[in-house]
Amino acid sequence: MKIVVAIKQVPARDSQLKIASSGRWIEEGDIAYEINEPDAYALEEALQLKEKHGGEVVALCAAPARAAQTIREALAKGADRAVHIEEEMGALDPLAAARMLAAAIRTESPDLVLTGLQSDDLGYGQTGVILAELLGLPHATIIMQVEKLDGVIKVKRELEDGWFQHVEMPLPALLTIQSGISKLRYATLMGIKKAKSKEIKRLTAADLGGASASPAIALDRIYLPERTKRTQLFEGSPKEAAAQLVEKLKFEARVL
């Protein structure tokens, strides 16, 4: 069973973020990076499926050269090899990113493609499902459990209000994995040593036929919420003041 796991490198959660001078993205020079948390769970699920059924796990990452550390982490945890599409991803929307990933995945012909449900930085939650459409694969989202049967997989999807849906799907297929599906493993010392000798295939957008087409979505401006403080006193009796307060909450704040 060949499994491709799409992983993304994102700013670490405890990073102090600053807006870049362009006003369209964050200043990337002084922040730390880590693997996107939902993608880490997708990788863990792929490794567990490999341990049960055999096969190969391929980590796929489209990111600048700095993502090499995240890719090595995936290899140290147990991925067999990796494909690194060296590309600046800041300006790419889910469609452009999915086109690039799809071009690389087609050369692998996997039985299963796993992605995280969404990214911690942009949080679109669309790349996985767009990728499935581009590849022509059946897909399911918000996956909490995966079971491989004879030629098919059975998945457990998280719905609302504590409800779940169980779906049986043919292979090949694509799944977007929910965080918390299982307990994440740590890279062992032996795994870290082995990762140094594992293959990392490096590609560019040109190698994939210019798959990174012009993005359909553009970020016009990124900014911090403005903090304002204003006090308004209501005159009159308590009853009159209460009526004025209710009116403000209903028609201005729109919370009632």
pLDDT for position 22:
83
Is 71:196 a contact under the CB 8 Å cutoff? no
| Residue 134 lies inside a defined structural domain of this protein | yes
pLDDT for position 27:
82
Running DSSP on this structure, what letter comes out for residue 193?
Answer: H
pLDDT for position 80:
97
Q: What is the CATH number of the domain that holds 53?
A: 3.40.50.620
CA 181 to CA 174: how far, in whole Å?
Answer: 16
pLDDT for position 186:
93
Residue numbers of the domain that contains 38: 2-208
| Strand 2-6 versus strand 56-63 pairing type | parallel
pLDDT for position 177:
96
Is 78:57 a contact under the CB 8 Å cutoff? yes
| Residue 222 lies inside a defined structural domain of this protein | no
> Number of helices (H) and strands (E), helices first, in the chain?
6, 11
| Residue 227 lies inside a defined structural domain of this protein | no
**Alpha-carbon distances of 211 from 51, 84, 110, 136, 188, rounded to whole Å:** 33, 14, 19, 17, 36
| Residue 30 lies inside a defined structural domain of this protein | yes
Is 146:173 a contact under the CB 8 Å cutoff? no
Structurally, the chain folds into a number of domains equal to 1
| Residue 247 lies inside a defined structural domain of this protein | no
| Residue 178 lies inside a defined structural domain of this protein | yes
CA 245, 249, 250, 253 dihedral sign is positive
Mean pLDDT by 10 residues, the chain (256 residues): 95 85 81 93 97 96 92 97 86 84 95 95 91 96 94 92 93 95 94 95 84 71 79 87 89 79
Number of CB atoms found within 10 A of residue 202's CB: 13
| Residue 256 lies inside a defined structural domain of this protein | no
| Residue 32 lies inside a defined structural domain of this protein | yes
